[in-house]
Amino acid sequence: MTTKEIRNTQLGLKFKVLHAVKLVIVSIGRFFFSLYYGTESAKIPTIPDKDGILKEPAVVVAKKIRQKEITSVEVIEACIRRIKDVNSALNCFVEDRFELALKEAREADALVRSGTLSEQQLEKQKPFLGVPFTTKDCIAVKGLHHTSGVVLRKDVIADKDSEAVRLLRESGAIILGLTNVPELCMWWESHNHIFGRTKNPYNTTRIVGGSSGGEGCLQAAAGSIFGIGSDIGGSIRMPAFFNGIFGHKPSRHTVSNEGQYPVPESELTDSFLGVGPMTRHAVDLKPLLKVMAGDKSSKLRLDEPVDVKKVKVYYQLSNNAPLVDPVDPEITMAMEKVIKFLKEQHDLKAEEKNIERLQKSVPLWFATMKTVNKFERLIMKSGGVGAILLEMFKNMIGCSGNTFIGLFTALTDYGGVPHGSEKYKHYLRVREDLEEKFKIMLGENGVFLYPTHPTPAPYHNEPLLRAFNFSYTCVINCLGMPATAVPLGLNREGLPIGIQVVANHNNDRLCLAVAEELGRAFGGWVEPQKS
């Protein structure tokens, strides 16, 4: 054996040992978390019959408003009632603009009644007239706080709408308020020291994901008709997965990131970040994306019909990455049911793949996310390792404005691959090579089915023991490709499970078409507490 082969063998053995130790720690941790949280979950009320409009797709709600079957005011009032009914148990909604929303709803209803524009003209010019939506507290809404969960920003007020919010409001949609996020949106449990922790509507002892966790939670609980989130490492798709809804991360550079905080610090990290829709119904994704993409929607060819029977399907059941949990058997079974459905209903024979470089998803994402500036400067007044360690001590005694995971992230920023180093450049080449492999595989008519996450929603704080499980989503951000999280029902514990559908750059319509097909076949969103 050559020296390199020996070194690789030793490294592989080291990772196997670390992985085995990690699995033991996770198993022990799961036991103690289950004892601590028990089996009791706070119950949220079911949606009352009088508010059945909350169960409808956004496109249906918009149509009913245009046709005067229901008023925008009635829809807004239903959302307000629902938010008030569920938020004490879930803590997902953090700031409202209810009075302004009702004023805008009355204006929308007046426009419909006036007959100034025909129903067809309203549909074309203001496709979401009177439809209420929400967004996460890192996407700017004029007049509301813009904290991103950072205590240092608790008094920051946005002076204008983010571009995505502006476009949606221009389409007639009405913003209701903001939902919760983790500190600086850099963790996959939504908890911060301004608004606290958000809880899963299917089981309040479990997480909602992050960083669009509050939004995913509110959508699952039917608190608004649709929502928008942002995704730099899985921040739309993981909350969509944990909360049993649909979420779409668009192709890079198609939906503007303007008004998102933190601001991407390089062209590369900007290409990782995507603002996209989060909905209970797959049918809403395409028309919402069309609005949010603005002038760039034409490059996505969203109006071009997709024949699912002609789509090439590839899939991979696991990335087998070290320090990442094995994929839960029920998620694997769900994937296999999808493969069987596509074969039986559309005569599509899915091709299984084993893309080995997906094992390096986490180090690839961490390395290529590196920038010149340190993470700590965005969450702390002072900097340096000493300052971080002091703040960690203060956190342990309940005297810090920062979360432990935020401080730990700041500390790890001093390690890893230095920005601009030869190893950093190596990872850039690996990323480019992997992207090219995906482009060749997917072509213009292919989709890749892949787990969104290896496990259903863990207990609160449990992600600390499973930190690298976001590997299934973060790698897609590195590639800049579109991906849609698709719910596939609930597992034996009553927790949502699902997969993600990935396509080549600017082929979002393929993801969305497959998502709609799977939504019809497997039922899509399931109302919490009513399963």
- pLDDT tens digits, 22-75: 889 999 999 999 999 988 889 999 999 999 999 999 999 999 999 999 999 999
Q: What are the structure tokens assigned to 77, written together?
A: 């009032």
Which one of 41, 162, 211, 271 is the catalytic residue?
211
In the block, tokens 């390089």 appear at 266
Question: Is 27 a catalytic site residue?
Answer: no
Encoded amino acid at 500, one letter = Q
Those residues with Cβ within 8 angstroms of residue 195's Cβ, 6 or more apart along the chain or in another chain: 91, 94, 137, 149, 180
CATH of the domain at 501: 3.90.1300.10
Query: Residue 19: inside a domain, yes or no?
Result: no
158-199 pLDDT tens trace: 999 999 999 999 999 999 999 999 999 999 999 999 999 999
424-437 pLDDT tens trace: 999 999 999 999 99
* Count of the separate structural domains present in the chain: 1
Angle at 521 between CA 519 and CA 525, to 5 degrees: 40
Buried b (16+ CB within 10 A) or exposed e, 285-324: bbbbbbbbbbeebeebebeeebebeebbbbbbbbbebbbb
Domain, as residue range, for 486 = 57-363+420-522
- The residue count of the chain comes to 531
Whether the predicted pLDDT of 5 surpasses 70: no
Which one of 41, 224, 230, 235 is the catalytic residue?
235
Backbone angles phi, psi at 192, to 5 degrees: -150, 175
Closest alpha carbon to 132 in 94, 88, 80: 80
Looking at residue 342, the DSSP 8-state letter turns out to be H
Query: Residue 475: inside a domain, yes or no?
Result: yes
As to burial, measured by CB atoms within 10 angstroms (0-12 exposed, 13-18 middle, 19+ buried), residue 238 is buried
Query: Residue 281: inside a domain, yes or no?
Result: yes
Query: Residue 377: inside a domain, yes or no?
Result: no
Q: What does the alpha-carbon distance between residue 382 and residue 37 come to, in Å, rounded to a whole number?
A: 36
Task: Give the sign of the dihedral formed by CA 291, CA 295, CA 298, CA 299.
Answer: negative
Query: Residue 16: inside a domain, yes or no?
Result: no
pLDDT on residue 9:
66
Query: Residue 261: inside a domain, yes or no?
Result: yes
pLDDT on residue 449:
98
List residues bridging with 75 in a β-sheet.
Answer: none
pLDDT on residue 474:
98
Reduced to 3 DSSP states, what percent helix, strand and coil does the chain have, rounded to the nearest 5?
50, 15, 40
Mean of the per-residue pLDDT values for the chain?
96
Question: Is 211 a catalytic site residue?
Answer: yes
Residues 243/201, Cβ–Cβ less than 8 Å: yes
Residues 88/23, Cβ–Cβ less than 8 Å: no
- Exposure of 494 in the CB half-sphere (CA atoms within 13 A): 16
pLDDT on residue 531:
47
pLDDT on residue 11:
58
Query: Residue 444: inside a domain, yes or no?
Result: yes
Which one of 64, 126, 136, 286 is the catalytic residue?
136
309-363 pLDDT tens trace: 999 999 999 999 989 999 999 999 999 999 999 999 999 999 999 999 999 999 9
